[in-house]
Chains A and B, each alone.
Chain A
Amino acid sequence: MKRLKTRRTDTQFAYLLLAPSLILLLVLIGYPMIYNIIISFQKVPLNPKMESTFIGLDNYISVLKDPTFYHSIFITLVFTAIVTTVSTLLGLVIALILKRDFVGKKLVNAIVILSYVVPAICLIFAWKYIFNNIYGIINYFLIDVLKVVKDVPLWFDNPSSAFALAAIFAIWKFFPYAYISFNAILQSVDKNLYEAAEIDGANSWKKFTAVTYPAIKPTLVTVVSLRIIWVFYIYAEVYLLTTQVDVIGVYLYEMAFATHDFGKAASISILLFFLIFACIMFIRKKVFKSEED
């Protein structure tokens, strides 16, 4: 009887504590989500005092007919696949190598994490300076010191080199997140398991697949799914770096705040939401589950 009573007051107290957060998220995420759906069926005039008009599926149709949309989706998918895979693997490999004890471990750890902590805009200035076409140190190394190439592209001004730079930049910025996550989980792996595997005559690869991989798998799934979401919606890092990489975030932003077509922008974001939702479900169900069977 007493137990039941504490249960009920627990529930009341829990919702009292959660109320501010839930109300905030409801008003500022839940409501905008629904509002977004409504806007996506409307033609929104530039003048905020004029009424929006309902135009049915017109926004969706015009987005789905726009070749730029497909181009952006394609670029974004390739970008997301490369950045997610490489940054996760890099973080994992570095975490595995640096797992042992050595002199200066703390300092090394801090330096590995640096690019993740420092604001993107600061890294972008460094990047732009290093790859400057006239006095950039990369060009100097490639052309004048190593003499491997005679000519280099205008790094930020053509789609392919800009894509490569943006991808490397994103990997550099994001791999520490994977590193931090794996670093934490690797410390919790039971050392006895490695010793047992060693007695059984397992080599390094065998030890990884038999002991390490099962232990880090939940972390891996989380890191990969979160990274996919973040990179898929990437906007600032790419946009500040170059105007030549048309990821979908940039397309959406420009549709809203350069073209000022809010209706179309809203319909793009609805389409993207379903796309990313499907992507995550696919990865969780197929890529990671299938290995267990």
Chain B
Amino acid sequence: MKKIKRKSVKNFLFYLFVIILMLLLLFPFIIMLSVAVKVTKEAISFPPTIIPKTFSLKHFSDIFNPRIFPFLSYFNNSLYIALITSVVVVFLGILGGYALSKLEFKGKGVVGELFYLVYMFSGILLIVPLFRLLSSIGLKNSKEAVVICMIIQTLPTAIYMTRSYFSTIPKELEEAGRVDGLNRFGIIFRIVVPLSLAGLISVFVYGFMIAWNDVLFASIFIDSPSKLTIPIGLNSLFNTPDYVWGRMMSASLVTSLPVVIMYAISQRLIKSGSTDGGVKG
């Protein structure tokens, strides 16, 4: 009897903890949503309201109107950079990850270490030489320069990820492909890749997220307003006196949506585990 009581107290405390944690973590997002749907006058009134008294979706329609808010242009630029980055990184990840997980070769250890070392010499430490180098070949004020920087930023992790996904695929399947007359590239792209689709999607999402969030390289390489990406574009508006909180918040929510959805999908796919199906069937 006493034991049951103690257990239910423990249970109660556990759920209390979970609820408090959730409220705490969701609080900033609740505020964002609240500000996005209330009218501007209420957003800057005192005392502040959490549950809005007014309700309007005007801010959401405003940010999609290119005449009053350049969000769509920012969105397209960010999409361009993030998509190219993640496609390239997935492709290179497939090649590199396959070599490192499935092949025995001289210098394998060194190559592996090299990718790890790149981690320590990344990001801000390279801004000066990368800026000089890419400007000197005419990539100043260009989205392509940002794409290049994002690719090299994400490549080591992408290869590391594909390597670990590929290493779960049994050798027998590759053998079977060989017997069926596939060449080496055929084995990679018709057997290994389809079997690790879930993993490769998460590599794609990783590259997309990093490029979508980037501030550092975009701020170095992009000057003209028409080429700004979402983070630096919104930030540049923030520093002008006439920013509107509701637009900022609705733009933030719309910006978050693609990455949150992509991340959720990739997690779900990983959990359902598509690789172990291959051995049985």
Interface residues of A (CB under 8 A from B): 7, 10-11, 13-15, 17-18, 20-22, 24-25, 28-29, 31-33, 35-36, 39, 48, 94, 97-98, 100, 102, 104, 108, 110-115, 117-123, 125-130, 134-137, 140, 144, 226, 229, 233, 235-236, 239-240, 249, 252-253, 256-257, 262, 265-266, 269, 272-273, 276-277, 280
Interface residues of B (CB under 8 A from A): 14-15, 17-18, 21-22, 25-26, 28-29, 31-32, 35, 43-48, 50, 92, 95-96, 98-100, 103-106, 108, 111, 114-115, 118-133, 135-136, 148-149, 151-152, 155-156, 159, 184, 209, 212-216, 220, 230-231, 234-235, 238, 245, 248-249, 252-253, 255-256, 259-260, 263-264
Query: Whose C-beta in chain A lies nearest to the C-beta of B157?
Result: A226
Residues of A within 8 A of B249 (CB): 125-126, 129
A31 to B263, CA, bound (A): 34
Q: Provided the pairs A48-B136, A98-B18, A118-B256 are in contact, do residues A10 and B111 lie with their beta carbons within 8 angstroms?
A: no
Interface pair A127/B105, CB less than 8 Å apart: no
Interface pair A272/B125, CB less than 8 Å apart: yes
Interface pair A276/B105, CB less than 8 Å apart: no
Interface pair B120/A273, CB less than 8 Å apart: yes
Interface pair A20/B126, CB less than 8 Å apart: no
Interface pair B45/A135, CB less than 8 Å apart: yes
Interface pair B231/A119, CB less than 8 Å apart: yes
Interface pair B260/A118, CB less than 8 Å apart: yes
Closest beta carbon of chain B to A15's beta carbon, Å: 7
| B interface: dominant SS | helix
Residues of B within 8 A of A110 (CB): 264
30 contacts between A and B (CB under 8 A): A7-B104, A14-B100, A18-B95, A18-B99, A20-B92, A29-B121, A29-B152, A32-B130, A32-B133, A33-B126, A35-B133, A111-B25, A112-B21, A117-B209, A118-B29, A118-B259, A119-B212, A119-B259, A120-B215, A121-B252, A126-B29, A126-B31, A135-B46, A229-B120, A233-B125, A235-B215, A239-B215, A252-B124, A253-B216, A266-B128
Residues of A within 8 A of B17 (CB): 97
A285 to B126, CA, bound (A): 27
Interface pair B152/A277, CB less than 8 Å apart: no
Interface pair A35/B104, CB less than 8 Å apart: no
A114 to B267, CA, bound (A): 13
Residues of A within 8 A of B104 (CB): 7, 10
Closest beta carbon of chain B to A124's beta carbon, Å: 8
A280 to B234, CA, bound (A): 36
Q: Provided the pairs A14-B108, A277-B120 are in contact, do residues A135 and B152 lie with their beta carbons within 8 angstroms?
A: no
Q: Which 4 A-B pairs have the closest CB atoms?
A: A122-B252, A32-B129, A236-B215, A11-B105
Interface pair B129/A35, CB less than 8 Å apart: yes
Interface pair B92/A21, CB less than 8 Å apart: yes
